[in-house]
Every structure is written in structure tokens, then in C-alpha cells.
């Protein structure tokens, strides 16, 4: 007799972005996110509350990377708690499921991606 076996659901992973948001950090996030989402289909929650944002263009670029990952079938969610991030998520990620307290409490791993701009010396 065939009995279906339940598949374990992997715990969500938080990717915490720290530092200055620029094109370099967005590119690094894109690369690392693919690797994290590939770990058994885990949900990747992107924590942006420790980012210094110089311009809205970089916010939109990060949101577009998240949207592209979602279009490719990966469960990547932007944890948009600040007003500017909520606006960006609303414009770019309209179909994103919410990041609620239950999802945050089930997180078992946090990956930190930090970035600071290089100062060029003369």
C-alpha cells in the first residue's frame, strides 16, 4: 500500500543587509540569495532595517532583484517595515506574501551581508 510521506519544510533564512545600499551590494545580494534559496527551497527573508539608503534608485534595484527571484519560483520576501521600504515594496512587489511575526519567529539562521563604500585615496 502506498502511504504519502510528508516532506520537512525548511526553516526560513534571514539575509540581513547592513551598511550602504549601492549597486555593489545589490549585485552581491543577488548572488548570495540564489545560493540561500537553493537550500531545500527555504524562504529567504531580506532584512533591510540596518541599511543606509542614499537614493531611491538603489531601493528599487534591490526590490527588482527580489521580484525577479520570485518570478523564477524562489520564495524571497522583503521585510519592509519602514515607510520608504513599504512604498517601494508596494510598487514593485505587489504579490509578495506578508512577512509576519510567525514567519520571523520560525527563523533558525541569519546570514549577514555587510558593505561599506571604498574610500579612494589620492
Give me the residue spans of the domains in the chain.
13-115
pLDDT given at position 115: 84
107, HSE (Cβ side, Cα atoms, 13 Å): 18
Class of domain 13-115: alpha beta
Contact between residue 46 and residue 78 where contact means Cβ atoms under 8 Å apart: yes
* Res. 2: pLDDT tops 60: yes
Q: Which residue has the higher pLDDT, 116 or 52?
A: 52
Pairing relation of β-strands 76-79 and 109-115?
A: unpaired
pLDDT tens readout for residues 45-57 = 999 999 998 888 9
pLDDT given at position 94: 76
Contacts of 67 (CB under 8 A, 6+ apart): 92, 93
pLDDT tens readout for residues 67-88 = 999 888 888 999 988 888 888 8
Amino acid at each position: 500500500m502506498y502511504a504519502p510521506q510528508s516532506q520537512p519544510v525548511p526553516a526560513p533564512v534571514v539575509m540581513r543587509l547592513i551598511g550602504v545600499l549601492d549597486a555593489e551590494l545589490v549585485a552581491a545580494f543577488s548572488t548570495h540569495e540564489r545560493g540561500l534559496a537553493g537550500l531545500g527551497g527555504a524562504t529567504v527573508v531580506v532584512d533591510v532595517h540596518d541599511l543606509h539608503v542614499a537614493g531611491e534608485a538603489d531601493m528599487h534595484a534591490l526590490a527588482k532583484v527580489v521580484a525577479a527571484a520570485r518570478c523564477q519560483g524562489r520564495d524571497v520576501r522583503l521585510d519592509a517595515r519602514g515607510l520608504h521600504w513599504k512604498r517601494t515594496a508596494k510598487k514593485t512587489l505587489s504579490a509578495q506574501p506578508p512577512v509576519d511575526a510567525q514567519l520571523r519567529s520560525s527563523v533558525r539562521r541569519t546570514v549577514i551581508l555587510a558593505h561599506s563604500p571604498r574610500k579612494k585615496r589620492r
